[in-house]
Structure 1
């Protein structure tokens, strides 16, 4: 029997406060809600545009999908007294990054999916996209691993519009006029070819790419645009930026040994 993760009255209170606020500043458009199962464990895998989209994704899932949203939340957020109390009372999963507690969080997510039949929202990218055109980036493999170990479906969800409400890096939201926020959920990602196989790094990477490909295709449908052939890779971009800076520094200062060579030629000529 599924365990009740949330305190009912806190859950009701949170819904009564958050729903009107989101409706006040956004004009949501939801499609594909029929793909969200009515019950049982499910992973909701979404792209990440803005620090505001956890609220809009939760709104989509709670009202459109008729499921209670469960997030994995950074421990730093849970140190805020009121937020911590609300988060724990509504069944959210704390994550202490960079430590063995991250493994505990993964185990807690497994229990939420398999024992409690929860609908758990994940951002496979791990952070807001840095793609210049805001397309989904390459992702971490944690969601694929969780899906393959638990056997629960992964419902891909794409959204667009929160970047107008609160662009990444902005400190103040642009609340008015109300922003159009579009959501499109697709059928569960087909991971059948990856199941019942050893969870190698290659297999997890390919399963992750399959999840992100579905999310990207859904966002392309919303935007009516063609996504890039190769997803933006933040690590590669940082590496290339570092190499470019080093090259520019060498050009400004002269390549090592170049000044000495010139001095040698001048002395010989004298």
Structure 2
């Protein structure tokens, strides 16, 4: 696969990050043939560890098509970190924008320039108890439908065994294996040239997340749950349980107060 110009900052980051990654993680990397050699495209990647962006970036770097990650625009203004973010061509996300599509304008421009833009569609570390991909946010679908670029589903597993989600300390031994599997482009053609309504974007996102999940099923050798974990729905259900518990405690307190009052009346007779 021909290599494009990577640039000083990305090579500098690779010099710093690759040696510890090689020491800490064995590699089972497959599907690199699905990474386009030319032209702009999106990779849609699952997220199950604070370490996995480094592991995935290592995989992608070795294909010669370095990823441009989306990050909060504020990070680009902070000293050395900002210089590194700008130098490696990462994509600022302007979350203060009221226009959902313009929030990803830099990502769209990067794809149109022929870059690889990496999305974590879940938006955060998975909260699925077994580490499966959750429901996704619509950003990747928006950019894909706007640009009609290829969307490559990428699943990874193993960095979460080195550093589980929300854990503070890594588990260094035995040495873990970082599995990465990229699949063929997701077919989104049936969504092209249609109004990007919330319903259409949700459906396109579900197609992307299903492709990522299928790749992870192959890695893990098991089936994912039929219904992806939905953190928003989980929060709603938790709120309902909390309210029900509070109401139950309130009713208990009222009954206790009523019983006390009744006993007081009986003692006063």
Q: TM-score, normalised by structure 2?
A: 0.88
State how far apart, in whole Å, the 2-side matches of 1:142 and 1:121 are.
11
Count of residues paired in the alignment: 264
Work out which of the residue numbers 98, 108, 111 in structure 1 matches 2:109: 111
Aligned position for 1:136: 133
* CA–CA distance in structure 1, aligned partners of residues 146 and 253 of structure 2: 53
CA distance in 2, matches of 1:265, 1:125: 56
3-state SS, counterpart of residue 254 of structure 1: helix
Q: Helix, strand or coil for the counterpart of 2:154?
A: strand
Matches within 5 A, 1:154-193: 154-193=151-190
Deviations 1:151-189 (A, max 9, x none): 101000001111112222122333444321101111000
Aligned 1:188-227 pairs, distance under 5 A: 188-227=185-224
CA distance in 2, matches of 1:213, 1:236: 19
Q: Compare 250-259 and 172-181 and name the one that shifted more.
A: 250-259
Q: After TM superposition, give the deviation of residue 96 of structure 1 in Å.
A: 4.2
Q: Using the alignment, how far apart are the partners of 1:103 and 1:151 within structure 2? A: 14
Q: 1:160–1:181: 8 Å Cα contact kept in structure 2?
A: yes
Q: Distance in 2 between matches of 1:92 and 1:131?
A: 28
Separation in 1, partners of 2:21, 2:183: 23
Counterpart residue number, 1:55: 54
1:95-115 deviations in whole A, cap 9, x for unaligned?
Answer: 24344598655111111000x
Contact 2:182 2:215 in 1 (8 A): yes
Output the CA distance in 2 between the equivalents of 1:95 and 1:223: 32
Q: What is the alpha-carbon distance in structure 2 between the residues aligned to residue 10 and residue 175 of structure 1? A: 29
Choose 99-108 or 137-146, whichever is displaced more. 99-108
Match of 1:68 in 2: 66
Residue in 1 that maps onto 2:88: 90
Partners in 1 of 2:153 and 2:60 — Cα distance?
12
Report the CA distance shift for 1:190/1:62 in structure 2 as closer, same or farther (over 3 A): same
* Structure 1 spans left out of the alignment, 5+ residues: none
Q: Following superposition of structure 1 onto structure 2, how do residues 1-16 of structure 1 map, counting pairs within 5 Å?
A: 8-16=7-15
The counterpart of 1:149, out of the listed 131, 136, 146, is 146
The corresponding residue for 2:40 is 41
| Aligned-partner Cα distance in 2 for 1:164–1:179 | 7
For normalisation by structure 1, the TM-score amounts to 0.88
Give the whole-Å Cα distance in 2 for the aligned partners of 1:188 and 1:256.
59
Q: Which moved more, 1:8-17 or 1:38-47?
A: 8-17
Kindly indicate whether the alpha-carbon contact (under 8 Å) linking 2:95 and 2:103 is maintained by their aligned counterparts in 1.
no
Instruction: Give the whole-Å Cα distance in 2 for the aligned partners of 1:76 and 1:172.
Output: 28
> Aligned partners of 1:140, 1:6: CA distance in 2, in Å?
31
**Partners of 2:173 and 2:103 in 1: CA distance:** 37
**Cα deviation, residue 201, structure 1:** 1.1
Q: CA deviation at 1:80?
A: 4.5
CA 1:166/1:80 → structure 2, altered by over 3 Å: closer, same or farther? farther
Q: Per the alignment, in what secondary structure is the counterpart of residue 156 of structure 1?
A: strand
State the 1:257 CA deviation. 6.2
